[in-house]
Amino acid sequence: MNNPTVTRIDLIRHGEPVGGKRYRGQIDDPLSEKGWAQMRTAVADHHPWDAIVSSSLSRCRLFAEELAACYRLPVMNDPRFMEIGFGEWEGRTAAELLKHDPDALHRFWSDPLNNTPPGAERLADFESRVIEAWGELLKNYQGQHVLLVGHAGMIRMIIRHVLDMPLERMFRLQVALAGISRIEVVGEAENALPQLVFHGGQL
């Protein structure tokens, strides 16, 4: 009996962007010097991957391209892996939002389906684009080991999907800057079994 096909995906969140901690969403801020250091430290001299896939935003893409060039790996940027759009919250800190509306963040985190920030991307739409891209990634890189460079929301959405968590609970997952998670998919097509191997661990 043949061994089942194993597709291994390592997900890494970008490091600190220029401007520090804020609801950045789809604002295209690059990595700060500290952010570059966080990413390079997280990966160190590991390069077990067959390919790299990245969000098209620069805080992910530029590191992915540097790593790919260093180890001569193919790299692809996919805008569907971009962070969720936060609408009017983009560029603002939690303190700024709380000053305007002390309950806004609590409402969003506790029930994100019904408390979308003004002008923001709907959670269901975010789910559709990320999971569509995830499905294509698994199909296109079947049996390979891939590094996916992305965002906290994107990684939460994929892990939520793999674990079959309710959509409204995805924000209960914490994703650290430059944090790494691994998902393995054993088997093919409708018989595939996805597993979260580790979350926030080390290579």
Nearest CA to 4 among 149, 195, 202, 163?
195
**Tens digit of each residue's pLDDT (9 = 90 or more) over 154-175:** 999 999 999 999 999 999 999 9
Q: What is the arrangement of strands in the sheet containing 180-186, beginning at the earlier edge strand?
A: 75-77, 51-54, 145-150, 6-13, 180-186, 193-201
d(CA 18, CA 91): 11
Q: Is the separation of the CB atoms in 170 and 156 below 8 Å?
A: yes
Show the tokens assigned to 103: 């309950």
Q: Is the separation of the CB atoms in 20 and 158 below 8 Å?
A: no
**Tens digit of each residue's pLDDT (9 = 90 or more) over 100-154:** 888 989 999 889 999 999 999 999 999 999 999 999 999 999 999 999 999 999 9
pLDDT of residue 191: 79
d(CA 150, CA 113): 22
DSSP conformation class of 92: B
pLDDT of residue 138: 95
DSSP conformation class of 143: T
d(CA 2, CA 143): 14
> Can you list the domains of the chain with their CATH numbers?
6-201 (3.40.50.1240)
